[in-house]
Structure 1
Amino acid sequence: MTITEPDQVWCSDITHIRLAHGFVYLTVVMDWASRYVLSVTMDDDFCVNALKSALRRHKTPEIFNTDQGAQYQSLVGKTPAEIYWGREVAKKAA
């Protein structure tokens, strides 16, 4: 696949940041074509919230790529609509 325009492929990754009271987790969702950061979160439910935040403000990508780490397992097998609205609502809308 050749990436030619924004919102074809998004990617996401997580890092932890050490603070005086422990760690926080930073999640970033980025568009591959533009290299624009679409969403940044430091929530407890960080992966899903970062993706939902990006979906609220941008077109749905054809591909959402991650390193398939354990933090992303709740997203496996779901479409962006199912992640954003929930599986049952997305099925009724289809």
Structure 2
Amino acid sequence: MTVLFEFNVHALSSDKIRINYTHDPTDTALDIAKYLLTSISLPGTAIVPVITNIKWYDSSHRSVVLELSLSLTSGTNYSCQLTGIYAKSGEILNSITRNFT
């Protein structure tokens, strides 16, 4: 089943956003690679960057960092859509990390 998630996200840097989610302990990087960023925008605009890399934020495997092909303004809140294929990690994007440095 394909599901579209829509949420606001705070840019980690000009080309990175961080997403927290609940997961199955058996998830791998291949599981999170099933997710596709369909748009990210400021009000009144629409940009569609390509995800160039996906990696775990740290060893807890509770959040991922998406590296993007287009520059964002660090510290800016964006509206974001992500298409995901439900698998064992069905609760992905349970919460979004904000205001981190």
TM-score where L is the length of structure 2: 0.30
Q: Which has the larger radius of gyration?
A: 1
Higher strand share: 2
Question: Which one has more relative contact order, counting CA pairs under 8 Å at least 6 apart?
Answer: 2
TM-score where L is the length of structure 1: 0.31
